[in-house]
Amino acid sequence: MPEPKKHKTRGGSNRRRSHLALKKLVLVSCGHCGKARTPHRVCPNCGFYKNIEAVNVLEKELKKKEKKNRS
């Protein structure tokens, strides 16, 4: 089995891993309902994106309940 040519220092390993830190979650308020959501995503509460309804949230909830009742 091949072995590494040189010892990898702790500093070298840590510098390589420096970009792996967790980033802070950015939230913005929804223009339609005012709840917090991530930017450039459909609002999970009301289903609107850029003041246009992208997802019908009520219909989605009804489908979930029907599926749950069947099982």
Domain boundaries, the chain: 22-70
Provide the 10 A C-beta neighbour count for residue 45: 14
Q: Which of 32, 25, 23 is nearest to 53 (CA)?
A: 32
pTM above 0.75, yes or no: no
| H-type alpha helices, 1-71 | 10-16, 57-70
List the beta bridge partners of residue 29.
Answer: 36
Q: Which of 27, 24, 53 is nearest to 40 (CA)?
A: 27
The model's pLDDT over 9-21, given as tens digits with 9 standing for 90+, comes to 999 999 999 999 9
Q: Is the pLDDT of residue 71 over 80?
A: no
